[in-house]
Amino acid sequence: MTVADQSIGEFLENVASQQVTPSGGTVAAVGGAMGAALCEMVCLHTVGPDGEGNASTELVDIRETLGDRRNRLLELADEDASAVDDVQTAFETDDVSRRRTAMKRSTEVPLSMAETCLDVLESAVTVTEKGTSVAIPDAVTGALLAEGALRAAVSTVRANIGMIDEAEFVAEMEQRSDELVVDADEAMAAVVANFDNRT
């Protein structure tokens, strides 16, 4: 059963169990998806269900983008659980190549998660600027969830590259992670500024 097919209660029970998965990466992805959904909601309340409200048509496009990112994050939630399971299985063997492949995947998945969360966070900048004022706190909440998910994903990347002995791969993951954090800081600062200007 996919994460998307579970009730919230079922999902949290699985997280809080003795199972190895779902774990931090999956939870982060779900959190990021929730953030995207909140920002989608603000777009909908601003432009209306038919996109004919008193707002920039830009929010119509952003709502579509956010829906895509929400779905992608739910996919990544499942991919993360699968990646963690693969690592566990690989380390039960003596196959060094299999271990390396599993560890690289367990780094690439959270990096993709962080990149997707950045898309949500950058979309939230426009949503907090142009969305209906009564729902700006919801958009800020969505941005905070996306930011937290991004930072959680980056922390997983940084932890996992310590177990990978390919210098070029590690350097690339470090650079991309650092860039994501810088971009996230800038986007979140803009979200906060928009909130301050509108409340």
Residues of the chain with confidence (pLDDT) below 70: 49-55
Q: Which domain holds residue 103?
A: 23-198
CATH code assigned at 68: 1.20.120.680
pLDDT digits (tens, 9 = 90+) for 30-53: 999 999 999 999 999 998 766 555
- Domains of the chain: total: 1
Distance CA 130, CA 56 (A): 8
Q: What pLDDT is stored for residue 16 in this prediction?
A: 97
> Please, what's the b/e burial string for 21-39 (b: 16 or more CB within 10 A of its CB; e: otherwise)?
bbebbbbbbbbbbbbbbbb
- Provide the whole-model pTM: 0.95
The verdict on residue 158 lying in a domain is: yes
Please report whether residue 45 resides in a domain. Answer: yes
| 145-161 pLDDT, tens digit each | 999 999 999 999 999 99
Task: Establish if 11 belongs to a structural domain.
Answer: no
pLDDT at 57: 83
